[in-house]
């Protein structure tokens, strides 16, 4: 995760939570991501907005990757 936090953050806890299971719905991924990021509020957005956006972006990226993998089979 980059851009929502002061430095690039690897969401290891999320990786471990999702390993070996079916990809959950976007909403569930968003819920899992939000507490894992510690953004800094600034002119671009509040901490809460960036936390929300991080969840949306990670969920979208994971679902897009899954879609592409499925299409490639």
pLDDT digits (tens, 9 = 90+) for 22-70: 999 999 999 999 999 999 898 889 999 999 999 999 999 999 999 999 9
Torsion angle of C-alpha atoms 6, 23, 30, 71, degrees rounded to 10: 80
Q: Is residue 2 part of a domain?
A: no
Q: Is residue 33 part of a domain?
A: yes
Q: End-to-end distance of the chain based on CA atoms, in angstroms? A: 28
Read off the pTM: 0.88
Structural domain tally of the chain? 1
Q: Is residue 1 part of a domain?
A: no
Q: What's the domain range around 66?
A: 12-71
């Amino acid at each position: 995760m980059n851009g929502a936090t002061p430095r690039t953050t690897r969401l290891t806890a999320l990786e471990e939570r999702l390993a070996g299971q079916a990809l959950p719905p976007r909403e569930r991924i968003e819920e899992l991501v939000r507490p894992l990021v510690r953004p800094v509020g600034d002119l671009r957005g509040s901490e809460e907005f960036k936390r929300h956006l991080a969840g949306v972006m990670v969920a979208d990226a994971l679902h897009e990757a899954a879609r592409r993998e499925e299409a490639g089979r």
